[in-house]
Structure 1
Amino acid sequence: MSFRSSKNSDNIVPLPGRRALVAPDAASLSPVLIVLHQDSSTPGRVGNALRALGYPLDIRRPRFGDPLPETLDRHAGAVVFGGPMSANDPDDYVRREIDWIEIPLRERRPFLGICLGAQMLAKQLGAQVAPHHEGRVEVGYYPIRPTAAGHALCSDWPERVYHWHGEGFQLPDGAELLAEGDDFPVQAFQHGHAFGVQFHPDVTYAMMHRWTTRGCVRMDSPGAQPRHLHFEGRAVHDVVERAWLNNFIAGWIVRAPHAVLLEAAE
Protein backbone atom coordinates (compact mmCIF):
# COMPACT_ATOMS: atom_id res chain seq x y z
CA MET A 1 0.00 0.00 0.00
CA SER A 2 1.35 3.39 -0.92
CA PHE A 3 0.51 6.56 0.95
CA ARG A 4 0.40 10.04 -0.54
CA SER A 5 0.54 13.42 1.11
CA SER A 6 -0.60 16.89 0.09
CA LYS A 7 1.27 20.09 0.79
CA ASN A 8 -1.52 22.49 -0.14
CA SER A 9 -2.58 24.23 3.07
CA ASP A 10 -4.63 26.97 1.41
CA ASN A 11 -7.90 25.54 2.76
CA ILE A 12 -6.74 25.29 6.39
CA VAL A 13 -8.65 27.59 8.70
CA PRO A 14 -7.30 27.64 12.28
CA LEU A 15 -9.62 26.29 14.92
CA PRO A 16 -10.92 29.03 17.20
CA GLY A 17 -8.92 29.70 20.35
CA ARG A 18 -9.94 28.92 23.89
CA ARG A 19 -12.79 31.40 23.76
CA ALA A 20 -14.57 28.87 21.54
CA LEU A 21 -14.87 26.63 24.60
CA VAL A 22 -17.70 28.87 25.84
CA ALA A 23 -20.75 27.14 24.36
CA PRO A 24 -23.87 28.91 23.12
CA ASP A 25 -27.10 28.60 25.07
CA ALA A 26 -27.76 24.83 25.24
CA ALA A 27 -31.40 25.39 24.32
CA SER A 28 -30.27 26.61 20.87
CA LEU A 29 -28.11 23.58 20.04
CA SER A 30 -29.09 20.76 17.70
CA PRO A 31 -27.84 17.26 18.58
CA VAL A 32 -24.67 15.69 17.25
CA LEU A 33 -25.20 12.39 15.45
CA ILE A 34 -23.11 9.61 17.04
CA VAL A 35 -22.55 6.41 15.00
CA LEU A 36 -21.33 3.39 16.99
CA HIS A 37 -20.53 -0.14 15.82
CA GLN A 38 -20.92 -2.47 18.80
CA ASP A 39 -23.69 -2.91 21.35
CA SER A 40 -21.25 -2.11 24.18
CA SER A 41 -19.66 0.92 22.47
CA THR A 42 -19.92 4.41 23.92
CA PRO A 43 -18.92 7.85 22.57
CA GLY A 44 -16.31 8.03 25.35
CA ARG A 45 -14.49 11.31 25.80
CA VAL A 46 -15.78 12.74 22.53
CA GLY A 47 -19.27 12.42 23.94
CA ASN A 48 -18.12 13.95 27.22
CA ALA A 49 -16.58 16.92 25.40
CA LEU A 50 -19.73 17.53 23.35
CA ARG A 51 -22.01 17.27 26.38
CA ALA A 52 -19.78 19.72 28.25
CA LEU A 53 -20.37 22.19 25.42
CA GLY A 54 -24.13 21.69 25.74
CA TYR A 55 -24.74 19.47 22.70
CA PRO A 56 -27.26 16.60 22.98
CA LEU A 57 -26.18 13.27 21.46
CA ASP A 58 -28.26 11.30 18.96
CA ILE A 59 -26.70 7.83 19.29
CA ARG A 60 -27.37 5.30 16.54
CA ARG A 61 -26.02 1.83 15.74
CA PRO A 62 -26.72 1.06 12.04
CA ARG A 63 -25.19 -2.39 12.46
CA PHE A 64 -28.18 -3.29 14.64
CA GLY A 65 -30.84 -1.70 12.48
CA ASP A 66 -30.83 1.98 13.48
CA PRO A 67 -31.48 4.20 10.44
CA LEU A 68 -29.20 7.06 9.50
CA PRO A 69 -30.86 10.41 8.66
CA GLU A 70 -31.39 11.41 5.05
CA THR A 71 -30.12 14.90 5.89
CA LEU A 72 -28.21 16.55 8.71
CA ASP A 73 -30.42 19.62 8.67
CA ARG A 74 -31.46 18.83 12.25
CA HIS A 75 -27.98 17.92 13.48
CA ALA A 76 -25.02 20.11 14.37
CA GLY A 77 -22.58 17.49 13.05
CA ALA A 78 -21.76 13.78 12.99
CA VAL A 79 -19.10 11.50 14.47
CA VAL A 80 -18.47 7.97 13.18
CA PHE A 81 -16.46 5.91 15.66
CA GLY A 82 -14.24 2.84 15.44
CA GLY A 83 -14.96 -0.88 15.57
CA PRO A 84 -13.39 -4.28 14.98
CA MET A 85 -14.71 -4.51 11.43
CA SER A 86 -12.97 -3.25 8.28
CA ALA A 87 -14.07 -0.52 5.91
CA ASN A 88 -13.39 -3.15 3.22
CA ASP A 89 -15.92 -5.63 4.63
CA PRO A 90 -18.79 -6.54 2.28
CA ASP A 91 -21.49 -6.25 4.97
CA ASP A 92 -24.44 -4.13 3.88
CA TYR A 93 -24.26 -1.82 6.92
CA VAL A 94 -20.58 -1.06 6.24
CA ARG A 95 -21.32 -0.15 2.64
CA ARG A 96 -24.36 1.92 3.66
CA GLU A 97 -22.34 3.89 6.21
CA ILE A 98 -19.61 4.69 3.68
CA ASP A 99 -22.22 5.78 1.15
CA TRP A 100 -24.05 7.83 3.82
CA ILE A 101 -20.94 9.94 4.53
CA GLU A 102 -21.65 11.67 1.22
CA ILE A 103 -24.47 13.54 3.04
CA PRO A 104 -22.35 15.50 5.57
CA LEU A 105 -19.78 16.12 2.82
CA ARG A 106 -22.40 17.50 0.45
CA GLU A 107 -24.20 19.50 3.16
CA ARG A 108 -20.91 20.82 4.58
CA ARG A 109 -21.70 19.72 8.12
CA PRO A 110 -18.94 19.09 10.68
CA PHE A 111 -17.93 15.43 10.33
CA LEU A 112 -15.39 13.51 12.37
CA GLY A 113 -14.26 9.95 11.65
CA ILE A 114 -12.27 8.10 14.32
CA CYS A 115 -10.18 5.06 13.28
CA LEU A 116 -12.74 2.97 11.34
CA GLY A 117 -14.75 6.16 10.83
CA ALA A 118 -11.69 7.85 9.31
CA GLN A 119 -11.13 4.85 7.05
CA MET A 120 -14.78 5.02 5.94
CA LEU A 121 -14.36 8.73 5.20
CA ALA A 122 -11.21 7.99 3.19
CA LYS A 123 -13.03 5.32 1.15
CA GLN A 124 -15.96 7.66 0.50
CA LEU A 125 -13.41 10.14 -0.85
CA GLY A 126 -11.89 7.49 -3.15
CA ALA A 127 -8.78 6.50 -1.17
CA GLN A 128 -7.52 2.98 -0.55
CA VAL A 129 -7.80 1.31 2.87
CA ALA A 130 -5.48 -1.66 3.47
CA PRO A 131 -3.40 -3.50 6.10
CA HIS A 132 0.26 -2.62 6.57
CA HIS A 133 2.38 -4.35 3.92
CA GLU A 134 4.36 -6.17 6.64
CA GLY A 135 1.32 -7.01 8.75
CA ARG A 136 2.20 -4.50 11.44
CA VAL A 137 -0.41 -2.89 13.66
CA GLU A 138 -0.62 0.06 16.03
CA VAL A 139 -2.05 -1.08 19.35
CA GLY A 140 -0.92 1.18 22.19
CA TYR A 141 0.73 4.62 22.23
CA TYR A 142 2.69 5.73 19.17
CA PRO A 143 4.20 9.05 18.05
CA ILE A 144 2.54 11.38 15.58
CA ARG A 145 3.97 14.47 13.92
CA PRO A 146 1.67 17.36 13.01
CA THR A 147 2.36 18.88 9.62
CA ALA A 148 2.54 22.61 8.95
CA ALA A 149 -1.17 22.43 8.09
CA GLY A 150 -1.82 20.63 11.37
CA HIS A 151 0.01 23.31 13.33
CA ALA A 152 -1.93 25.98 11.43
CA LEU A 153 -5.17 24.31 12.49
CA CYS A 154 -4.30 23.93 16.17
CA SER A 155 -1.02 24.20 18.04
CA ASP A 156 -1.34 21.78 20.96
CA TRP A 157 -0.95 18.35 19.30
CA PRO A 158 0.20 15.51 21.59
CA GLU A 159 3.49 13.78 20.83
CA ARG A 160 1.98 10.31 21.31
CA VAL A 161 -1.62 9.15 20.97
CA TYR A 162 -3.56 5.96 21.60
CA HIS A 163 -4.10 3.57 18.69
CA TRP A 164 -5.95 0.33 18.09
CA HIS A 165 -5.91 -0.62 14.40
CA GLY A 166 -4.37 -2.91 11.82
CA GLU A 167 -5.31 -1.02 8.67
CA GLY A 168 -4.42 2.39 7.32
CA PHE A 169 -5.41 4.54 4.39
CA GLN A 170 -4.10 6.79 1.67
CA LEU A 171 -4.57 10.52 1.85
CA PRO A 172 -7.65 11.23 -0.30
CA ASP A 173 -7.32 13.52 -3.28
CA GLY A 174 -8.11 17.09 -2.27
CA ALA A 175 -7.51 16.39 1.43
CA GLU A 176 -4.90 18.04 3.65
CA LEU A 177 -2.55 15.95 5.77
CA LEU A 178 -2.65 17.21 9.37
CA ALA A 179 -0.51 14.62 11.17
CA GLU A 180 1.71 11.76 10.07
CA GLY A 181 3.21 8.65 11.65
CA ASP A 182 5.75 5.94 10.98
CA ASP A 183 4.17 2.58 10.09
CA PHE A 184 0.92 4.31 9.10
CA PRO A 185 1.88 7.67 7.59
CA VAL A 186 -1.61 9.23 7.40
CA GLN A 187 -2.71 9.88 10.97
CA ALA A 188 -5.07 12.87 10.59
CA PHE A 189 -6.49 14.74 7.62
CA GLN A 190 -9.03 17.38 6.70
CA HIS A 191 -11.34 17.59 3.70
CA GLY A 192 -13.44 20.72 3.97
CA HIS A 193 -15.60 20.42 7.09
CA ALA A 194 -14.70 16.72 7.47
CA PHE A 195 -11.85 15.38 9.59
CA GLY A 196 -10.44 11.89 10.02
CA VAL A 197 -8.06 10.68 12.73
CA GLN A 198 -6.48 7.23 12.76
CA PHE A 199 -5.95 7.28 16.52
CA HIS A 200 -8.37 7.09 19.47
CA PRO A 201 -8.57 10.27 21.57
CA ASP A 202 -12.05 9.07 22.59
CA VAL A 203 -10.77 6.23 24.81
CA THR A 204 -11.52 6.48 28.52
CA TYR A 205 -9.70 4.59 31.24
CA ALA A 206 -12.58 2.10 31.47
CA MET A 207 -12.53 1.59 27.69
CA MET A 208 -8.80 0.89 27.79
CA HIS A 209 -9.36 -1.80 30.42
CA ARG A 210 -12.11 -3.37 28.30
CA TRP A 211 -10.19 -3.28 25.03
CA THR A 212 -6.95 -4.69 26.48
CA THR A 213 -8.92 -7.51 28.11
CA ARG A 214 -11.42 -8.51 25.43
CA GLY A 215 -9.08 -7.69 22.56
CA CYS A 216 -5.90 -9.11 24.04
CA VAL A 217 -5.34 -11.27 20.93
CA ARG A 218 -4.48 -8.07 19.02
CA MET A 219 -1.49 -7.56 21.33
CA ASP A 220 0.18 -10.60 19.78
CA SER A 221 0.38 -8.87 16.38
CA PRO A 222 3.63 -7.39 15.01
CA GLY A 223 4.18 -3.89 16.33
CA ALA A 224 1.60 -4.12 19.13
CA GLN A 225 2.56 -3.05 22.62
CA PRO A 226 2.01 -5.30 25.66
CA ARG A 227 -0.88 -4.43 27.97
CA HIS A 228 1.16 -2.84 30.74
CA LEU A 229 2.64 -0.31 28.30
CA HIS A 230 -0.86 0.90 27.44
CA PHE A 231 -1.41 2.02 31.01
CA GLU A 232 2.12 3.32 31.44
CA GLY A 233 1.65 5.36 28.27
CA ARG A 234 -1.67 6.70 29.48
CA ALA A 235 -0.08 7.96 32.70
CA VAL A 236 2.46 9.93 30.67
CA HIS A 237 0.57 11.07 27.56
CA ASP A 238 -3.12 11.20 28.39
CA VAL A 239 -3.25 14.69 29.91
CA VAL A 240 -2.01 16.29 26.70
CA GLU A 241 -4.16 14.09 24.44
CA ARG A 242 -7.28 14.90 26.49
CA ALA A 243 -6.57 18.65 26.37
CA TRP A 244 -6.02 18.46 22.60
CA LEU A 245 -9.31 16.60 22.14
CA ASN A 246 -11.32 19.14 24.15
CA ASN A 247 -9.87 22.05 22.17
CA PHE A 248 -10.27 20.23 18.87
CA ILE A 249 -13.91 19.31 19.49
CA ALA A 250 -14.77 22.87 20.54
CA GLY A 251 -13.29 24.26 17.32
CA TRP A 252 -14.66 21.48 15.10
CA ILE A 253 -18.29 21.74 16.17
CA VAL A 254 -18.56 25.50 15.73
CA ARG A 255 -18.12 24.92 11.99
CA ALA A 256 -21.84 24.01 12.01
CA PRO A 257 -23.94 26.55 10.08
CA HIS A 258 -25.50 29.19 12.32
CA ALA A 259 -28.99 28.19 11.16
CA VAL A 260 -28.45 24.65 12.45
CA LEU A 261 -27.44 25.93 15.88
CA LEU A 262 -30.66 27.94 16.13
CA GLU A 263 -33.03 25.36 14.67
CA ALA A 264 -33.76 23.56 17.93
CA ALA A 265 -34.99 26.78 19.50
CA GLU A 266 -37.55 27.43 16.77
Structure 2
Amino acid sequence: MRINVLQHTPNEGPGSIQSWSQKHHHQMFIYHPYQYNILPSAAETDLLIILGGPMSPNDSTEWILRERELIAQLLENETPIFGACFGAQQIAKTLGYQITKGPKEVGFAPVYLKSKTIPHLPAELLALHWHEETFEIPAGADLLFSSDLLENQGFVMNHRVIGLQFHFEPQADDLREIVINDGNYTKDNLLNQTAEDILKTPVPIENKAVMFQLLDYITE
Protein backbone atom coordinates (compact mmCIF):
# COMPACT_ATOMS: atom_id res chain seq x y z
CA MET A 1 0.00 0.00 0.00
CA ARG A 2 1.18 3.52 -0.80
CA ILE A 3 0.37 5.91 2.03
CA ASN A 4 0.52 9.57 1.07
CA VAL A 5 0.83 11.95 4.01
CA LEU A 6 0.06 15.66 3.73
CA GLN A 7 2.05 17.45 6.43
CA HIS A 8 1.24 21.12 6.98
CA THR A 9 3.82 22.36 9.45
CA PRO A 10 7.29 21.05 10.34
CA ASN A 11 6.41 20.14 13.93
CA GLU A 12 3.28 18.03 13.28
CA GLY A 13 4.41 14.81 11.65
CA PRO A 14 2.74 11.41 11.30
CA GLY A 15 3.88 10.06 14.68
CA SER A 16 2.39 6.64 15.39
CA ILE A 17 0.82 6.57 11.91
CA GLN A 18 4.33 5.97 10.61
CA SER A 19 4.74 3.12 13.10
CA TRP A 20 1.51 1.56 11.79
CA SER A 21 2.79 1.89 8.22
CA GLN A 22 6.07 0.22 9.13
CA LYS A 23 4.29 -2.58 11.00
CA HIS A 24 2.35 -3.47 7.85
CA HIS A 25 5.34 -2.96 5.52
CA HIS A 26 3.63 -0.17 3.58
CA GLN A 27 5.39 2.63 1.72
CA MET A 28 4.92 6.12 3.15
CA PHE A 29 5.47 9.31 1.16
CA ILE A 30 5.34 12.61 3.08
CA TYR A 31 4.39 15.76 1.18
CA HIS A 32 4.76 19.36 2.41
CA PRO A 33 2.32 21.29 0.18
CA TYR A 34 2.54 24.46 2.31
CA GLN A 35 6.22 24.74 1.33
CA TYR A 36 6.64 23.00 -2.02
CA ASN A 37 3.10 23.17 -3.47
CA ILE A 38 3.38 19.52 -4.51
CA LEU A 39 0.57 17.00 -3.99
CA PRO A 40 0.21 13.34 -4.95
CA SER A 41 -2.30 12.23 -7.55
CA ALA A 42 -5.38 10.23 -6.66
CA ALA A 43 -4.14 7.38 -8.84
CA GLU A 44 -1.01 6.92 -6.72
CA THR A 45 -2.82 7.08 -3.38
CA ASP A 46 -4.01 3.98 -1.52
CA LEU A 47 -4.44 5.80 1.80
CA LEU A 48 -4.37 9.55 2.38
CA ILE A 49 -3.33 11.00 5.75
CA ILE A 50 -4.07 14.71 6.21
CA LEU A 51 -2.31 16.16 9.25
CA GLY A 52 -2.85 19.32 11.28
CA GLY A 53 -1.47 22.80 10.83
CA PRO A 54 -1.90 26.45 11.80
CA MET A 55 -3.82 27.39 8.65
CA SER A 56 -7.60 27.30 8.09
CA PRO A 57 -9.63 25.58 5.36
CA ASN A 58 -11.34 28.97 5.00
CA ASP A 59 -8.08 30.41 3.62
CA SER A 60 -7.93 30.71 -0.16
CA THR A 61 -4.29 29.64 -0.58
CA GLU A 62 -3.84 27.69 -3.82
CA TRP A 63 -2.49 24.50 -2.28
CA ILE A 64 -5.37 24.35 0.22
CA LEU A 65 -7.86 24.45 -2.66
CA ARG A 66 -5.88 21.87 -4.65
CA GLU A 67 -5.73 19.64 -1.62
CA ARG A 68 -9.53 19.63 -1.48
CA GLU A 69 -9.66 18.68 -5.17
CA LEU A 70 -7.56 15.63 -4.31
CA ILE A 71 -9.79 14.79 -1.34
CA ALA A 72 -12.88 15.03 -3.56
CA GLN A 73 -11.38 12.58 -6.05
CA LEU A 74 -10.46 10.14 -3.31
CA LEU A 75 -13.93 10.37 -1.73
CA GLU A 76 -15.43 9.54 -5.11
CA ASN A 77 -13.02 6.62 -5.47
CA GLU A 78 -13.80 5.42 -1.92
CA THR A 79 -10.09 5.58 -1.07
CA PRO A 80 -9.40 5.52 2.70
CA ILE A 81 -8.74 8.94 4.24
CA PHE A 82 -7.74 9.90 7.76
CA GLY A 83 -7.67 13.56 8.79
CA ALA A 84 -6.42 15.11 12.04
CA CYS A 85 -7.37 18.65 13.08
CA PHE A 86 -6.90 20.79 9.93
CA GLY A 87 -7.08 17.53 7.98
CA ALA A 88 -10.50 16.65 9.37
CA GLN A 89 -11.68 20.19 8.65
CA GLN A 90 -10.46 19.88 5.06
CA ILE A 91 -12.55 16.73 4.59
CA ALA A 92 -15.66 18.41 5.98
CA LYS A 93 -15.05 21.52 3.87
CA THR A 94 -14.64 19.36 0.73
CA LEU A 95 -18.04 17.83 1.46
CA GLY A 96 -19.61 21.29 1.63
CA TYR A 97 -19.74 21.82 5.40
CA GLN A 98 -18.73 24.90 7.37
CA ILE A 99 -15.57 25.42 9.38
CA THR A 100 -16.26 27.86 12.20
CA LYS A 101 -14.65 29.31 15.30
CA GLY A 102 -14.81 26.95 18.24
CA PRO A 103 -13.46 26.87 21.78
CA LYS A 104 -9.68 27.15 21.94
CA GLU A 105 -8.60 23.81 23.38
CA VAL A 106 -4.85 23.36 23.86
CA GLY A 107 -3.50 20.53 25.97
CA PHE A 108 -4.67 17.15 27.17
CA ALA A 109 -8.36 16.57 27.85
CA PRO A 110 -10.70 13.58 27.66
CA VAL A 111 -12.74 12.67 24.61
CA TYR A 112 -15.79 10.44 24.83
CA LEU A 113 -16.87 7.79 22.36
CA LYS A 114 -20.25 8.57 20.78
CA SER A 115 -20.61 5.76 18.24
CA LYS A 116 -20.18 1.99 18.21
CA THR A 117 -19.47 2.01 14.46
CA ILE A 118 -15.84 1.03 15.09
CA PRO A 119 -15.73 -2.00 17.43
CA HIS A 120 -13.79 -2.18 20.69
CA LEU A 121 -12.83 1.47 21.09
CA PRO A 122 -12.55 2.69 24.70
CA ALA A 123 -15.43 4.78 26.03
CA GLU A 124 -13.05 7.55 27.13
CA LEU A 125 -9.52 8.54 26.12
CA LEU A 126 -7.12 11.35 26.99
CA ALA A 127 -6.19 13.16 23.78
CA LEU A 128 -4.00 16.09 22.77
CA HIS A 129 -5.98 19.13 21.62
CA TRP A 130 -4.41 21.96 19.62
CA HIS A 131 -7.19 23.87 17.88
CA GLU A 132 -9.69 26.72 17.89
CA GLU A 133 -11.79 25.95 14.81
CA THR A 134 -14.33 23.21 14.35
CA PHE A 135 -16.23 21.35 11.63
CA GLU A 136 -19.84 20.43 11.02
CA ILE A 137 -20.47 16.68 10.96
CA PRO A 138 -21.11 15.72 7.31
CA ALA A 139 -24.42 14.15 6.38
CA GLY A 140 -24.10 10.38 6.35
CA ALA A 141 -21.28 10.44 8.90
CA ASP A 142 -21.52 9.29 12.51
CA LEU A 143 -20.38 11.51 15.36
CA LEU A 144 -17.43 9.52 16.74
CA PHE A 145 -16.07 11.58 19.66
CA SER A 146 -17.01 14.59 21.77
CA SER A 147 -15.23 16.49 24.54
CA ASP A 148 -16.49 18.56 27.47
CA LEU A 149 -16.01 21.79 25.49
CA LEU A 150 -16.84 20.68 21.95
CA GLU A 151 -19.40 18.20 20.66
CA ASN A 152 -17.98 17.69 17.15
CA GLN A 153 -14.62 16.12 17.92
CA GLY A 154 -14.65 13.32 15.37
CA PHE A 155 -16.62 11.58 12.64
CA VAL A 156 -16.55 8.33 10.68
CA MET A 157 -18.25 7.70 7.35
CA ASN A 158 -18.62 4.94 4.78
CA HIS A 159 -16.08 2.65 6.48
CA ARG A 160 -13.40 4.64 4.64
CA VAL A 161 -13.12 8.11 6.20
CA ILE A 162 -12.28 9.28 9.71
CA GLY A 163 -11.77 12.88 10.80
CA LEU A 164 -10.64 13.87 14.30
CA GLN A 165 -10.43 17.41 15.64
CA PHE A 166 -7.80 16.32 18.17
CA HIS A 167 -4.63 14.22 17.98
CA PHE A 168 -4.05 10.52 18.76
CA GLU A 169 -0.94 10.30 16.57
CA PRO A 170 1.75 12.19 18.58
CA GLN A 171 4.15 10.12 20.67
CA ALA A 172 6.47 11.52 23.36
CA ASP A 173 9.10 12.91 20.96
CA ASP A 174 6.37 14.35 18.72
CA LEU A 175 4.73 16.06 21.67
CA ARG A 176 7.99 17.71 22.67
CA GLU A 177 8.51 18.91 19.10
CA ILE A 178 5.03 20.43 18.98
CA VAL A 179 5.30 22.18 22.32
CA ILE A 180 8.83 23.59 22.07
CA ASN A 181 8.08 25.09 18.66
CA ASP A 182 4.47 26.20 19.15
CA GLY A 183 4.25 26.68 22.90
CA ASN A 184 3.03 30.28 22.57
CA TYR A 185 -0.22 28.91 21.16
CA THR A 186 -1.14 27.72 24.66
CA LYS A 187 -1.90 31.30 25.77
CA ASP A 188 -5.54 32.07 26.60
CA ASN A 189 -6.87 28.57 26.03
CA LEU A 190 -9.92 27.15 27.76
CA LEU A 191 -8.14 24.09 29.11
CA ASN A 192 -5.92 26.48 31.13
CA GLN A 193 -2.81 24.42 30.44
CA THR A 194 0.61 25.95 29.89
CA ALA A 195 3.34 24.58 27.66
CA GLU A 196 5.06 23.29 30.80
CA ASP A 197 1.86 21.53 31.92
CA ILE A 198 1.56 19.78 28.56
CA LEU A 199 5.19 18.67 28.52
CA LYS A 200 4.76 17.11 31.97
CA THR A 201 1.78 15.02 30.82
CA PRO A 202 2.73 11.53 29.64
CA VAL A 203 1.26 10.56 26.26
CA PRO A 204 -1.29 7.82 27.07
CA ILE A 205 0.02 4.49 25.82
CA GLU A 206 -3.44 3.48 24.59
CA ASN A 207 -3.53 6.32 22.05
CA LYS A 208 -1.12 4.50 19.77
CA ALA A 209 -3.24 1.34 19.93
CA VAL A 210 -6.38 3.31 19.13
CA MET A 211 -4.65 5.04 16.23
CA PHE A 212 -3.80 1.59 14.87
CA GLN A 213 -7.44 0.51 15.32
CA LEU A 214 -8.73 3.50 13.36
CA LEU A 215 -6.34 2.93 10.47
CA ASP A 216 -7.10 -0.80 10.45
CA TYR A 217 -10.81 0.02 10.25
CA ILE A 218 -10.66 2.29 7.20
CA THR A 219 -8.22 0.04 5.30
CA GLU A 220 -9.69 -3.41 5.99
Letter in 2 for 1:87: P
Larger radius of gyration: 1
Provide Cα deviations, 1:17-76, integer angstroms capped at 9, x if missing partner: xxxxxxxxxxxxx2111111124543211111111111110211222235323323x432
Aligned in 2, Cα 1:216/1:41: closer, same or farther, shift over 3 Å? closer
Pick from 109, 113, 120: which aligns with 1:146? 113
Pick from 106, 113, 125: which aligns with 1:159? 125
Q: Which residue of 1 aligns with 2:163?
A: 196
Higher relative contact order (CA 8 A, sep 6+): 1
Letter in 2 for 1:58: F
Higher strand share: 2
Unaligned 5+ segments in structure 1 are: 1-29, 255-266
- The answer to whether the 8 Å contact 2:107/2:128 transfers is yes
* Distance (whole Å) between structure 1 residues aligned to residue 189 and residue 105 of structure 2: 9
Letter in 2 for 1:119: Q
Runs of 4+ in 1 over 6 A off after TM superposition: none
Unaligned 5+ segments in structure 2 are: none
* Distance (whole Å) between structure 1 residues aligned to residue 74 and residue 217 of structure 2: 17
| Aligned-pair identity (%) | 24
Q: Which residue of 2 aligns with 1:263?
A: none
Residues 1-266 of structure 1: pairs in structure 2 closer than 5 A: 30-39=1-10, 41-72=12-43, 74-132=44-102, 136-147=103-114, 149=115, 151-157=116-122, 158-192=124-158, 193-224=160-191, 225-234=193-202, 238-254=204-220
Provide Cα deviations, 1:119-159, integer angstroms capped at 9, x if missing partner: 00011111111112xxx311111121111x3x231323342
Aligned in 2, Cα 1:99/1:251: closer, same or farther, shift over 3 Å? same
* Distance (whole Å) between structure 2 residues aligned to residue 216 and residue 40 of structure 1: 11
* Distance (whole Å) between structure 1 residues aligned to residue 189 and residue 45 of structure 2: 41
SS at match of 1:137: strand
- The answer to whether the 8 Å contact 1:47/1:57 transfers is yes
Deviates more, 1:117-126 or 1:188-197: 188-197
Aligned residues: 217
- The answer to whether the 8 Å contact 1:53/1:250 transfers is no
TM-score w.r.t. structure 2 length? 0.90
Shift of 1:108: 0.3
Deviates more, 1:245-254 or 1:103-112: 245-254
* Distance (whole Å) between structure 2 residues aligned to residue 171 and residue 46 of structure 1: 24
- The answer to whether the 8 Å contact 2:3/2:48 transfers is yes
- The answer to whether the 8 Å contact 2:111/2:127 transfers is yes
Q: Which residue of 2 aligns with 1:257?
A: none
